[in-house]
Amino acid sequence: MQSFPASGSSSSLHVLRWVIAALGLVLGIALLLAGSVVIGGLILVLAGLRIALLVGSERQRRRFASAGPGVPRTPGSVPPPGLGGRPGLQLLQPVAVAAAARTIGVSAADLQAQQATGRSMADVASDHAVSTQAVVDAVVTDASARLDQAVAGGRLPARRAERGRGRLPQWARQVVTTPGTNAGVA
């Protein structure tokens, strides 16, 4: 996996995009001053929209870069929703699957195969006479331990871990009771 360059660095393509937007502004103003109001106005509007898009993508890039070390990134990817717009609890999905499978008494692969057919972890737990709450509690416990490890390893600020820990019970219940393999990711 590849990391994006730091927000302070700039590539030639990044600079070129800003130069083109600036040239659009200059051309639009020049056309307005020359009396070509419709074309000049249109070019000004398009250049303004381009600048707005560039500013928005720059903010997103900075926000994604500030997610911290250890967060997988691929070029062109958008950070998944989570805590503060950064990758959040959904990164704990593998922990949830492992904890649920262990509590239910099945392998993680078997649990995921059941989820792929549209069943929830709670459905599978019910088949094995395990309560939904027992599975939720196991997911919360393991996810909380993983947050503690991330803080201890310097991969997650303590404040973010506390916010995440506060959301764990609700998130775990959603993961356990939502059918399919993408529970807790949206």
Written as one string, the DSSP assignment of 96-142 is: HHHHHHHHHTS-HHHHHHHHHTT--HHHHHHHTT--HHHHHHHHHHH
Residue 112 identity (one-letter amino acid): Q
The pLDDT value given to residue 78: 45
The model's pTM: 0.53
Chain-centroid distance of CA 9 in Å reads: 23
Q: Give the model's pLDDT for residue 61.
A: 74
pLDDT value at residue 42: 93
Per-residue pLDDT of the chain (186 residues; tens, 9 = 90+): 334 444 444 578 778 888 999 999 999 999 999 999 999 999 999 999 999 988 888 887 777 665 544 444 444 444 444 333 345 677 778 888 999 999 999 998 999 898 889 899 999 999 999 999 999 999 999 989 988 988 898 888 888 888 888 888 998 899 899 887 655 443
Look at residue 9 in the predicted model and tell me its pLDDT.
47
- Predicted local confidence at residue 29, as pLDDT: 93
The pLDDT of residue 186 is 39
Rounded CA gap, 48 and 25, in Å? Answer: 7
Q: Is the CA virtual torsion 36, 39, 45, 46 positive or negative?
A: negative
